[in-house]
Structure 1
Amino acid sequence: MTFQAPKGTFDWMPPRSEWALIVRDALSAPARRAGYGYIETPAFEDTGLFSRGVGESTDIVTKEMYTFESKGGQSLTLRPEGTASVMRAVLEHGLYGGALPIKLWYSGSYFRYEKAQAGRYRHFSQVGAEALGAEDPALDAELIVLAADGYASLGLKNVRLLLNSLGCKECRPAYRAALQEFLRGLDLDEDTRKRIEINPLRVLDDKRPEVQAQLVNAPLMTDHLCGACKAYHEEVRGLLTSAGLTYTDDPRLVRGLDYYTRTTFEFIHDGLGAQSAVGGGGRYDGLSEMIGGPALPSVGWALGVDRTVLAMEAEGLLTERPGHVEVFAVPLGEEARRRIFPLVAELRRNGVAVDMAFGGRGVKGAMKAADRSGARYALILGDRDIEAGAVQVKDLTTGDQTAVPLAEVVDVLKGKLS
């Protein structure tokens, strides 16, 4: 019997997996430069954290969570998103008692039982950033700029930013009532009708064409914003413009989680087909209270690693092999292998990426391996070289080859590679 990865999952394999690492680093680098500290939370949490925080009416909670009972009888769930876990950790460890805002970033695996398709997986990777404990439009704008900078650093040109405001607890009730009245007059299935009464915003997020066609004339939150929310949203928009960001106002953007308030945003890439969102987030001023904490207004985002790699592929940015070795060592014989092994170790300790031929290959097979590795230089050591106390350094691009004394190899290669 042979085993395969479960449906809806996949294995990251070289060289494509190297791009996943590059994407993680690039998306988190702007946040790290802006003072966000790293946080790591468990891959599973108490089920109630997500049902209360993410929302009972969301598809995530009603259909997509991987929930199981522990041996101790506790209901646990593999995390479907990162924000609720970060908020739980901040509350549990009392971080809100110190300097605010608390700025945190994270990276990890998330799990949703979804219909498997390209760009939508049951096990996926995200980079996230959260700023907790301050209600400031500059913080919303900062996070949006940091995400945009991450995408730009990867060379992506076709990522678009959509922006909206979902109002606050002062202006949302009137909009909710108007939206419910409109939705009750539509031809919708029973499950969707139930959702109208629990959280009508979720209906706006329904992706089915037959539902979207009926929502064309639905009332918009932007027409119901209170004065404070209008002013807040205009400040966010102005700050984004001042930082050189282009965005599109999308009054129908609601995102798929119940905790969002005011600023919501999404990054879209048109080269991905149906699953066009590569990241997004927003403000969630009420989440702390939802899970039993004090008022802690916060804002954050999650950016998809898998989809960002797909976006780079769509733009033809995965043509080079990333992370290849710089030097490939070719020992000719057992004595040469014993002599070249410590040299390889020394080069690596000096920051040079080195691989070597294993398995007693002949010179022809070893040089083929050197070419496949993508290395710029080959180190070739034979019996004559050992006698001369030197090693052959071959430029694999030009074919030029020179003998270099063993004692000078590290400095010579560092100079060539600098």
Structure 2
Amino acid sequence: FYYIQPVWRYEEPQRGRLREFWQAGVELIGVPGAPGDAEVLAVLINSLRKVGLSSFKVHVNDRRLVEALLHWLGVPPALVPSALRVIDKLERRGAEYVESALAPMVPDKSRLKKFIELLGNDPLQIRLPDELPATAKEAVGELEELVRELEDGYGLARFVRLDLSVVRGLDYYTSLVYEAKTPLGGELGSVAGGGRYDDLIRLVGGPQVPATGMAIGVERLIEALRAEGALAPRSGRTGYYVVPVTPQFRLYAIRVAEKLRAKGEKVVVELMGRKLASALEAADKLGCKYAVIVGQREVESGILTVRDLEAWKEEKIPLNLLVGS
């Protein structure tokens, strides 16, 4: 299934990280392994291409590889979730921060140096420690299968980069994880992300069902498109903002708005009870072309005061001419 909706998080607002933001995502439930993951990744890649984003790569990893490396480092199992959250900050905070934050968890500092050097590399192109458990070998095999699936089935492998540093900051991911990144990098963060969460449905009371999914951060995507110059320029001001000067004229203002809407116009009615100056300021910020002012004289005469918010000119227009009836 898919969704496009607002979501919330408890966080200090900053560029690319808002407390309320929009996500567009898909979840594929019941399909295990590379076939399901490749299908969702293809939806993500093609969605970004369709809206005009050209400079991006989807950085892909398997968390089981990093968890195996943390075990090789000697990180206690109880601290693995904390260690993964530290690694997730690599792009924003840098390798020195990650090394210093992991150091208290790692008894062998020489291995820690080696681990930091491995981060960011393609796990299929480097030599991993021989002591890693079987789960690491399974993860490597599934990454190879995923790349083949994306290349031979979808022709999209060129948009993917295997990257050992990608872990995602949420604990429910069980294997595959990925983030779509642009040249803005850590300045903006990833524009999309996702992965496999085969245990999550069981953890919230459902059956054991394999599942994989992704979500696009809409505001981040818009910012990335704007940075590329890929957003179509705005066509200028449009629509009407209808302002009753006092609450007693609200219903009349709504009737005017409904007649304009029947013509296909975009119309906002001032319902906050703001004074005229504040209402006109709100209309200006919304990018409305015209403000229609409704007061005693307008209601009695049927001639409305219409202010052009672009030219900042005002004229009197009969209601029947304004609404075309």
Superposition TM-score tier, normalisation by shorter sequence: 0.5 to 0.7
Q: Which amino acid aligns with 1:118?
A: Q
Deviation at 1:209, TM superposition (A): 1.9
Deviation at 1:280, TM superposition (A): 0.9
Q: Which amino acid aligns with 1:209?
A: A
- Residue correspondence of structure 1 range 114-153 to structure 2 within 5 A: 116=12, 118-119=14-15, 123-125=19-21, 127=23, 128-135=25-32, 137-152=34-49
Q: Is the 8 A contact 1:332 1:381 kept in 2?
A: yes
Any gaps of 5 or more consecutive residues in structure 1?
Answer: 1-35, 39-104, 185-192, 413-418
Deviation at 1:283, TM superposition (A): 1.5
Task: Please state if 1:302 is matched with 2:199.
Answer: no
Q: Give, in whole Å, the separation in 2 of the partners of 1:372 and 1:121.
A: 23
Q: Which amino acid aligns with 1:342?
A: R
- The percentage of aligned residue pairs carrying the same residue is 26
Q: 1:232 to 1:285 in 2, by over 3 A?
A: farther
Q: Which amino acid aligns with 1:180?
A: H
Q: Give, in whole Å, the separation in 1 of the partners of 2:82 and 2:303.
A: 76
Q: Is the 8 A contact 1:118 1:275 kept in 2?
A: no
Q: 1:396 to 1:135 in 2, by over 3 A?
A: same
Aligned to 1:238, the other structure's residue is in SS state helix
Aligned to 1:248, the other structure's residue is in SS state strand
Higher RCO (C-alpha 8 Å, min separation 6): 2
Deviation at 1:265, TM superposition (A): 1.3
Any gaps of 5 or more consecutive residues in structure 2?
Answer: 100-112, 129-135
* Match in the other structure for 1:110: 9
Q: Give, in whole Å, the separation in 2 of the partners of 1:253 and 1:370.
A: 44
- Residue correspondence of structure 1 range 248-397 to structure 2 within 5 A: 248-271=161-184, 273=186, 276-289=189-202, 293-305=206-218, 307-308=220-221, 310-311=223-224, 314-315=227-228, 326-329=239-242, 342-348=255-261, 351-355=264-268, 374-377=287-290
Task: Please state if 1:233 is matched with 2:146.
Answer: yes
Q: 1:134 to 1:308 in 2, by over 3 A?
A: same
Deviation at 1:109, TM superposition (A): 1.2
* Match in the other structure for 2:60: 163
Q: Give, in whole Å, the separation in 1 of the partners of 2:81 and 2:46.
A: 34
Q: 1:159 to 1:234 in 2, by over 3 A?
A: closer
Q: Give, in whole Å, the separation in 2 of the partners of 1:242 and 1:380.
A: 57
Q: Is the 8 A contact 1:137 1:236 kept in 2?
A: yes
Deviation at 1:161, TM superposition (A): 1.6
Q: Give, in whole Å, the separation in 2 of the partners of 1:236 and 1:148.
A: 14
Deviation at 1:144, TM superposition (A): 2.5
Aligned to 2:32, the other structure's residue is in SS state coil
TM-score (normalizing by structure 2): 0.60
Q: 1:142 to 1:129 in 2, by over 3 A?
A: same
* Match in the other structure for 2:108: none
Aligned to 1:266, the other structure's residue is in SS state strand
Aligned to 1:285, the other structure's residue is in SS state coil
* Match in the other structure for 1:10: none
Task: Please state if 1:180 is matched with 2:71.
Answer: yes
* Match in the other structure for 1:94: none
Q: Give, in whole Å, the separation in 2 of the partners of 1:246 and 1:402.
A: 55
Q: Is the 8 A contact 1:166 1:221 kept in 2?
A: no
Q: 1:411 to 1:158 in 2, by over 3 A?
A: farther
Aligned to 1:140, the other structure's residue is in SS state helix
Q: 1:261 to 1:346 in 2, by over 3 A?
A: same
* Match in the other structure for 1:247: 160
Q: Is the 8 A contact 1:370 1:378 kept in 2?
A: yes
Q: Is the 8 A contact 1:111 1:124 kept in 2?
A: no
Q: Give, in whole Å, the separation in 1 of the partners of 2:228 and 2:317.
A: 43
- Residue correspondence of structure 1 range 20-99 to structure 2 within 5 A: 36=1
Q: Give, in whole Å, the separation in 1 of the partners of 2:185 and 2:262.
A: 41
1:334-369 per-position Cα deviation (integer Å, ceiling 9, x unaligned): 99998665322332465532347887869xx99888
Which of 396-405 and 262-271 deviates more? 396-405
Q: Give, in whole Å, the separation in 2 of the partners of 1:275 and 1:336.
A: 46
Corresponding residue pairs, total: 291
* Match in the other structure for 1:209: 95
Q: 1:214 to 1:385 in 2, by over 3 A?
A: same
Aligned to 1:270, the other structure's residue is in SS state coil
Q: Which amino acid aligns with 1:194?
A: P
1:156-195 per-position Cα deviation (integer Å, ceiling 9, x unaligned): 444432123456xxxx6xx8666633x24xxxxxxxx435
Deviation at 1:297, TM superposition (A): 0.9
Deviation at 1:125, TM superposition (A): 3.6
Q: 1:296 to 1:322 in 2, by over 3 A?
A: farther
* Match in the other structure for 2:76: 194
Aligned to 1:234, the other structure's residue is in SS state helix
Aligned to 2:76, the other structure's residue is in SS state helix
